[in-house]
Chains A and B, each alone.
Chain A
Amino acid sequence: MSAPGSVAVIRPMVGRDSAFFWEGTAAGELRIQKCNGCGSLRFPPGPSCPRCHSFDQTYVVAAGTGTVFSYVVHRHPPVPGKELPIVIALIDLDEGVRMVGEVTDAVPDGGGSEEIEIGMRLRVDFTRIDDDLTLPTWRKA
């Protein structure tokens, strides 16, 4: 299980093109960039649409459900702000984009063998670190 408050978790670099995402997690929303030019969804976000080159970008709020595409059980070395082992997954969101997230209920107490597999359904959760940072995390759906 993670213990994000104990040691400083690594904080994300936030810029003009990504601030909406982190404002979203703080508000309990998982936001995906949407292009106003062609309607395509994109993660990670950026200032220009690779398909139509529009700079007019907005976002939609994801349903917060997805499927495990791949995963890692991280055992060594230490990770700031985390109590090892942790399970980190690559999650295909139902909207069609993919993102990385910690799966917080896949390691049993005591750190025994993980309980996760490719294809497993997950639901997003929001883990508040402090006033300035809320991380999207995931649980089994």
Chain B
Amino acid sequence: MAGFSREAAIVGIGATEFSKESGRSELQLSVEAVLAALADCGLTPADVDGLTTFTMDTSSEIAVARELGVPELRFFSRINYGGGAACATVQQAAMAVATGVADVVVCYRGFNERSGSRFGQVSVAAATQVNTNGLDNAWTYPMGLGTPAATVAMQARRYMHEYGATSEDFGRVAVADRRHAATNPNAFFFERPITLEDHQASRMIADPLHLLDCCQESDGAVALVVVSAERAKDLPQKPAYVAAAAQGSGKDQFVMTSYYRDDIGIPEMGVVGRELWRQSGLRPDDMPVAILYDHFTPYVLMQLEELGFCGRGEAPGFVADGAIEIGGRLPVNTHGGQLGEAYIHGMNGIAEGVRQLRGTSVNQVDGAGHVLVTAGTGVPTSGLVLSA
């Protein structure tokens, strides 16, 4: 146990519906989610004095504060690197409330990521941004490597080559997610499970990745309210204490294209994992359930290895017998994940972690006292251990 472990808690969660066309602005989506999260824990905008989000979010903290009528902000921050920011927004909030810099910090993320700017397409903006990330992308985009699926496929192919993993191994992640989504009324793929045969028959997007290895593009927003452990005692919901919150970046790190180091896997998630176990004093075996960022299936296997649930190259065996499905040894993404529920840049996964601790998940793991949640993979990233 170290530092701010269990000094802060997520006490409120809120979200919009998840869809392919929200029909309203990204700012409105975020404001709706924040209001829902505040209502969930009996607070109002007047109580909020901190806001934190992703660098990529198009709605600034001050814009959200204006729409909410938040009188004053004492803390505001943003985290870079796409979906890698998700759990780090909670880390920001937890550090702020644990140190007394702020009292009530709301983490939010909202976008029209399907009806507006689609992340699955080639982003000319990413390749032309005037900063070092844009300069880094000069080594891939002009060469034709310009979609998230393709950048991940490069790592997936090497993983298959080194460890004998197969497309079916990746497919088992999609099958588990879609099974969980099938019983989640808020999931885009509610009542639409898939089989491994469906996965194998889906069209090739960026070989070796099939369509069903790739998460959907979604419109929606999620917000999370973080307060100190002391304040949490006075609020109506069962607190989800932040037992650990970590960021991680590895050697010779790039955004999605860390191809130039010996290991082209995701060692940055190993950095996150070691820190989560150090801060929390817990171990992988203590986790009855995990929410592992799943914009692409191969990364779930690599995360199981980096986080210490199994050895290097052993994840295909780990998932082979349904271990990551409800009822298995380590149910993963019980809300359906980003492949099944929605892609809200990992923030919907944090909300599911909170539901597991409250005992209100649609795929509840009996007596879940801890939950591991991770953020975007293949990028500088973050993670949480939440505890009841």
A-B interface contact total, Cβ < 8 Å: 121
B70 at the A/B interface (Cβ < 8 Å)?
no
A13 at the A/B interface (Cβ < 8 Å)?
yes
- A43 is contacted by which of B129, B205, B260, B264 (Cβ under 8 Å)? B260
Do B144 and A82 touch (CB < 8 A)?
yes
B131-139, B280-288, B363-371 - interface stretch: B131-139
8 interchain residue pairs of minimum CB distance:
A12-B138, A73-B207, A70-B158, A13-B134, A72-B153, A10-B141, A70-B157, A12-B142
A137 CB, min distance to chain B CBs, angstroms: 8
Do A74 and B139 touch (CB < 8 A)?
no
Interface string of A86-103 (1 = CB under 8 A from B): 101010000001111110
A80 CB, min distance to chain B CBs, angstroms: 6
Do B142 and A90 touch (CB < 8 A)?
no
Q: Which A residues from 28 to 61 make CB contacts under 8 A with B? A: 43-44, 50
Nearest residue (CB) in A for B204 is: A75
Which A residues are within 8 Å of any B CB, using their own CB? Answer: 2, 9-15, 17-18, 43-44, 50, 69-82, 86, 88, 90, 97-102, 114, 118, 133, 135-137
Hey, which chain A residues are within 8 Å of B136, CB to CB?
44
Hey, which chain A residues are within 8 Å of B163, CB to CB?
none
- B144 is contacted by which of A14, A69, A98, A102 (Cβ under 8 Å)? A102
A16 CB, min distance to chain B CBs, angstroms: 10
Nearest residue (CB) in B for A136 is: B143
Hey, which chain A residues are within 8 Å of B135, CB to CB?
13-15, 17-18
B89 at the A/B interface (Cβ < 8 Å)?
no
Do B260 and A74 touch (CB < 8 A)?
no
A2 vs B207: C-alpha distance when bound (angstroms): 17
Nearest residue (CB) in B for A16 is: B135
Hey, which chain A residues are within 8 Å of B130, CB to CB?
13
- Size range of the interface on B? 35 or more
B66 at the A/B interface (Cβ < 8 Å)?
no
A10 vs B145: C-alpha distance when bound (angstroms): 10
Which B residues are within 8 Å of any A CB, using their own CB? Answer: 120-122, 124, 127-130, 134-147, 150, 153-155, 157-158, 161, 203-207, 252, 257, 259-260, 264
A84 vs B324: C-alpha distance when bound (angstroms): 36
Listed A/B pairs (19) with beta-carbon separation below 8 Å: A9-B142, A12-B142, A13-B127, A14-B135, A69-B264, A70-B155, A72-B157, A72-B207, A73-B204, A75-B203, A75-B205, A75-B206, A76-B206, A77-B120, A77-B122, A98-B260, A114-B207, A118-B158, A135-B142
Do A72 and B145 touch (CB < 8 A)?
yes
Do A72 and B146 touch (CB < 8 A)?
no
Do A79 and B122 touch (CB < 8 A)?
yes
Do B145 and A88 touch (CB < 8 A)?
yes
Nearest residue (CB) in A for B129 is: A13
Hey, which chain B residues are within 8 Å of A136, CB to CB?
143
Nearest residue (CB) in B for A9 is: B142
Hey, which chain B residues are within 8 Å of A50, CB to CB?
252
A4 vs B200: C-alpha distance when bound (angstroms): 32
A139 CB, min distance to chain B CBs, angstroms: 14
A90 vs B141: C-alpha distance when bound (angstroms): 13
Do A13 and B138 touch (CB < 8 A)?
yes
